[in-house]
Structure 1
């Protein structure tokens, strides 16, 4: 709670409180539902944003994991990294079946190209993924 002069009036122990945003069990069922919604609405940009978010989070975890201070929790960080990468790959897998309009194709191509390389494919294979994108003739959404 903030007092009249902008200062916190709670005790320090109550400022950082996990009950404010309780940790829920693994929300594995939420991602497929959200993907299905984005697919149904043709929201290529939303799918690319989800892919980018998972990859950015995985990158941050990988960076922290490489630090000496993380040596005591490297197995947990590796587990979390694996989960985030798996989610990014799932999003990219479903993204590649979408038909972007001319305004979405660049972002979609970048995401799929990066994902193909991240998955261990070589440059010609990654380029083939991009070249297989089926662009619609629709205008901007």
Structure 2
């Protein structure tokens, strides 16, 4: 019986300690015109109620607002990444979206979807495009 892989502790603790809102990794993509990522957001860290009137969140975060975490896999056309200063909801194609409550749920989701948890990093180390 093999032990289940987990997100590296240093990365997980950074997410849990609110050092960053999400962790991510870039995934291989067969279509050269696209880039693809998977991310896990700590939704419980977001204050949806007391935010500035001008503070907007991606729709997938709004849709996950009553969960602790959300996992999202998405792609973005390379030309958008190369020509735009910011990314909005209409620029991304969501491949997978899953609300999750615990670290165990996250690990099970990753295993079921053949995503290597060892490759998660803080967003700035994997050229993560959403901010």
Bin for the TM-score computed over the shorter chain: under 0.3
- Higher CA-based Rg: 1
Question: TM-score by structure 1 length?
Answer: 0.26
Higher normalized contact order (CA 8 Å, seq sep 6+, divided by chain length)? 2
TM-score (norm 2): 0.28
Structure with greater proportional strand content? 2
Structure 1 or 2: more helix by fraction = 1
